[in-house]
Amino acid sequence: MARARPGRYRWSFFFPFPGTKAYELSQQGDYIDFAKMAQMENFTDGSCLNFGKTHDLFLKKVGRVMPWFVNAQSDFAVADFYRKKVEEILALDEKAWEKRILHIEQEDRDISKKFVRQGLSHYAIKYNRFMGVISDYFLAED
């Protein structure tokens, strides 16, 4: 994503649809949490797969602030800033993450406003929680 630089992108979690090879493989690997699967309303808020506590927490973090991870891997001038943000997020345990997540979208907006004022290209969460938009793109819409 960082190299391709699309104007915007959406992300979601993998979902093993019954009757597919992916479902069969997920079931054989004992990755499907059927209780979670039955309660899911969409594929953007989480996964019905269970990879273990550590990896599941990692997926929650990436799923919530994907643009930060993309920015961290980019050649944008802000990449070092986002690398530090990603390291900070990855270091949080589950309890600290649950506290941090309450304000993460506001934090993203505040960071984005700062970089927009400085004229620095970056991806931000825009329009909904699962869409990353490059600042050049959303500034052109204003």
Strand pairing report for 8-10 and 131-134: antiparallel
Virtual torsion, Cα 64, 6, 75, 128, nearest 10 deg: -20
Distance, CA of 11 to CA of 62 (rounded, Å): 10
Q: Do residues 75 and 47 make contact, with C-beta atoms less than 8 angstroms apart?
A: no
Mean residue pLDDT of the chain comes to: 93
Per-residue model confidence (pLDDT) at position 125: 95
Task: Using the structure block, give the residue that is written with the tokens 């996964």.
Answer: 47
Q: Quickly state the pLDDT bin for 24 (edges 50, 70, 90).
A: very high
| C-alpha radius of gyration, the chain, whole number | 17
Q: Quickly state the pLDDT bin for 105 (edges 50, 70, 90).
A: very high
If you average pLDDT over residues 61-72, what whole number do you get? 96
Distance, CA of 118 to CA of 21 (rounded, Å): 48
Instruction: Give the tokens for residue 91.
Output: 């270091």
What are the pLDDT digits (tens) for 3-23? 999 999 999 999 999 999 999
* Coarse DSSP helix, strand, coil percentages of the chain, rounded to the nearest 5 percent: 55, 10, 40
Per-residue model confidence (pLDDT) at position 142: 53
Distance, CA of 99 to CA of 94 (rounded, Å): 9
Per-residue model confidence (pLDDT) at position 134: 92
Report the percentage of the chain scoring pLDDT > 90.
82
- What pTM, to 2 d.p., does this model score? 0.89
Instruction: Give the tokens for residue 74.
Output: 């980019």
